[in-house]
Amino acid sequence: MSHSDLPSFQCYHRLGGSNSDVKEAWQDVQFYPHTHASLDPVFAVTGTSRNTAVYRCVRNEDREASIELIRWFGDQSQSDRSDIPNPALNSVEWTHTNDGDPLLMVAGANPAINILNVSTGNLVMTLAGHGKLVTELVISPTDHTILASASYDRSIRLWTLDPACEGQRTVAILAGDGGHKFDIIALVSMSRAYTLEANTSQGWHRKGRYLLSGGMDTMVNLWMIPEDEKLKKNLGSDNPIMMAYPHFSSTDIHHDYVDCVKFYNDLIISRAAKENTILLWKIDNFSSNDSPPASPPLPHSPIVQSRTPVRVPVTPLSGTRSAWGGKFQRLLQFEYPQTDPFYMRFGLLHELGMHPVLAAGNTKSKIFFWDLQVLEEAGLGENVPGAGKKKKRDNNRAPTSCGLAVTMAGKKMARESSHTSESSAASDPSNPAHSETSKASVSSKGDDLGATTGIGDHFKSIVPHKTETIPNVSFAIRGMAWSRNGEWLVACGDYGMVAVMDRWGHRRPPSSI
């Protein structure tokens, strides 16, 4: 048992029962980030059925993994708009009240965002302002009352959930000439362990100053968020802060819909539809430890004031502009087959004292795992000292890229129901789950090492270190989430499927921090 162990399939739950013919998909899943380490982790799923379910990960008397339903929210859309015949949900996020009650935020085809109290089961707030479908919700890592949302209306909005601001909830709007030219479908996601004050981030850089977005225009933007003092000064104002220009913008990284982006410290992990890869890259000269640039770069303009003839390109020579100078660098590329559709989100475990692990599912019930600690030890390229040399591994050693974190213990969630979900056991002999471990990931041969590290070729795809196949049902995996303790991984997707994986059983390897 070690931190290098990767999850194995345990059970699945299907909406309506294991023999159901339900076609609706669970589109998003998120664990509640404030559950104390001694308590069973809790997660929520939402989807096209317009329902939201809250489950607890549990073990039976034989220590077999399962999930237990503790809260069910029916259709909260309350929409009478004729242009939204089926106001499906596609994004869920967690925060909490000032007294510790867990809150769920859900959004989708109906532009309104609903805030639900999990303890009471009540709808406590609705945020209205977007003009089209809301695609993603992410809470600030430094303030549990600041929410960011992305929409098909090509804007990102920052909202305040502060009870004192009952009037205007919109704090800032990120949109304009320098922003997205088409629908936004992704906001960056980062491990909750590396926040400065509260472990609540599902969409910001850990320091709360930067927000990444991706869209159908193939663009990735990095926005600098106003300082807390400026945001707080504007709370409740009828004139929200308007931001038209991001500090970094590029259409050169991906060539199709960018539907998932995450910070990995100051590095970025992203993917786009039809590319069948996941990229790890960095912005040239960007460091969150430095003071941010004073102003963002302006887009290319063909207008020139000159007394002499000049040649002006019709389009910019580069699709990248950056306030830090330079462009970006590709570092690694992960092999991610059978993932042509958009709106498929990967999951990143990035917690103190644990190996960082990237997990991603495809359209054929397969989940791929990459241990980023292995890649770190091998080196991220030819310019890294010792790259290509096999290092002696300490499977319990924490990653050297870890930062400090403050652990926030949340309020224990009440057991609203003792109903255990109908599940399919992983040990079912009629159709067992299939697990594959890359031979290259455990081989000592130098040629094999390159297959799982990508050393020396940033365009060579790194094969997964492990692949798990969910049995019995072939479905597209739309979202996945890790529990804070790194023990559980939950994947959701088409046909109302929720698949549960775990590692270590009920035990955990020791942390070196």
**What residues contact 239, with CB distance under 8 A and at least 6 apart?**
none
Q: E strands of 284-415, at which residues?
A: 320-322, 328-335, 347-349, 357-361, 366-371
Provide the residue ranges of all domains of the chain, joining segments of one domain with +. Answer: 8-300+312-502
Please give the C-alpha separations between residue 474 and each of 22, 435, 483, in angstroms, as whole numbers.
Answer: 13, 15, 25
- CATH superfamily entry for domain 8-300+312-502: YVTN repeat-like/Quinoprotein amine dehydrogenase (2.130.10.10)
pLDDT digits (tens, 9 = 90+) for 187-246: 654 333 333 232 323 345 566 689 999 999 999 999 998 877 777 777 767 889 999 999
CA distance 359 to 348: 6
196: left (phi over 0), alpha (psi -120 to 50) or beta: alpha
Counting Cα atoms < 13 Å in the Cβ hemisphere of 205 gives 20
**pLDDT for the residue 182:** 66
Please give the C-alpha separations between residue 409 and each of 335, 467, 484, in angstroms, as whole numbers.
Answer: 37, 33, 11
Q: Which residues of the chain have pLDDT under 70?
A: 76-86, 182-208, 236, 300-317, 379-432, 438-456, 506-513
Number of Cβ within 10 Å of residue 396's Cβ equals: 16
With b for 16 or more beta-carbon neighbours within 10 A and e for fewer, the 449-479 pattern comes to bbbbbbbeebeebbbbbbbbebbbbebbbbb
Task: Return the H-helix or E-strand segment holding 115.
Answer: strand 113-117
Q: Is 306 helix (H, G, I), strand (E, B) or coil?
A: coil
**pLDDT for the residue 414:** 32
Rounded to 5°, angle at Cα 278 from 272 and 282: 100
**pLDDT for the residue 418:** 34
**pLDDT for the residue 83:** 53
**pLDDT for the residue 203:** 45
| Cα–chain center distance at 482 | 10
pTM of the model: 0.82
**pLDDT for the residue 194:** 32
**pLDDT for the residue 81:** 52
**pLDDT for the residue 369:** 98
pLDDT digits (tens, 9 = 90+) for 7-57: 999 999 998 887 778 889 999 999 999 998 789 999 999 998 889 999 999
Q: Residue 28's beta-bridge partner residues?
A: 46
**pLDDT for the residue 166:** 77
